[in-house]
């Protein structure tokens, strides 16, 4: 979700409550020229992923689930993956998110490490209770074989590459296992 706001004097003059609302509800902003500001990363309070999966990252961040396209996908396809996070308290660290598509032998085929919203909404700016939905794109290799694949997701510190611990981790490597993703 984005909220465009023109910087012309009319909006602040006639709709100051709207400006206050936008600034309190959105965590990031991007300025286009001198007259348009786009606010993004709306901090919701209700997580609503298509596939719920709750995980606690060390008492700092909760993962609520994800949304992937329904049904099988094709080689070479670009897939949207929405991840839903919630700050339990404002994190002290600016974590990076890793996303890895792995084969049956757990070998990574595709990686998509990133900072939330291209670094414009670092985790250290997430207020306690804020629900953050951020979309990633997974580019499937054009030569990927048909089959079932898993997606591994987690958080890590970019300064030392240490992964944020997941309370009651079942992967053995502080990663969530999403999927399966079926390639036809």
Q: What is the pLDDT of residues 86-140, one digit of tens each?
A: 999 999 999 999 999 999 999 999 999 999 988 888 999 999 998 998 988 999 9
- Give the mean pLDDT of the chain: 86
pLDDT tens, 125-169? Answer: 999 998 998 988 999 999 999 999 999 999 999 999 999 999 999
Task: Check which CATH number belongs to the domain holding 83 and give it.
Answer: 2.60.40.2550
Regarding whether 84 and 169 lie in a shared domain, the answer is yes
User: Domain check: are 93 and 161 in the same one?
Assistant: yes
> Which residue range forms the structural domain that includes residue 55?
51-183
Same domain, 163 and 86: yes
Domains in the chain, number: 2
The answer on 99 and 168 residing in a single domain is yes
Same domain, 72 and 20: no
Residues 146/103, Cβ–Cβ less than 8 Å: no
Q: What is the rounded distance in angstroms from the CA atom of residue 139 to the CA atom of residue 119?
A: 20
Its pTM stands at 0.81
For residues 22 and 58, membership in a common domain is answered with: no
């Amino acid at each position: 979700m984005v909220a465009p706001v023109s910087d012309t004097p009319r909006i602040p003059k006639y709709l100051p409550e709207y400006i206050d609302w936008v600034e309190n509800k959105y965590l990031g902003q991007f300025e286009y020229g001198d007259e348009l500001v786009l606010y993004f990363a709306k901090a919701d309070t209700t997580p609503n992923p298509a596939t719920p999966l709750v995980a606690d990252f060390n008492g700092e961040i909760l993962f609520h689930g994800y949304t992937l396209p329904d049904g099988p996908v094709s080689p070479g396809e670009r897939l949207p993956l929405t991840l839903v996070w919630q700050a339990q308290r404002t994190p002290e660290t600016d974590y990076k998110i890793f996303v890895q598509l792995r084969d049956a032998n757990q070998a990574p085929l595709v990686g998509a490490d990133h900072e939330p919203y291209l670094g414009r909404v670092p985790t250290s700016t997430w207020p306690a209770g804020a629900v953050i939905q951020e979309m990633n794109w997974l580019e499937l290799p054009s030569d990927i074989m048909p089959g079932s694949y898993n997606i591994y997701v987690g958080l890590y510190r970019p300064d030392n590459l240490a992964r944020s611990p997941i309370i009651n981790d079942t992967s053995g490597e502080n990663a969530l296992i999403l999927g399966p993703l079926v390639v036809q």
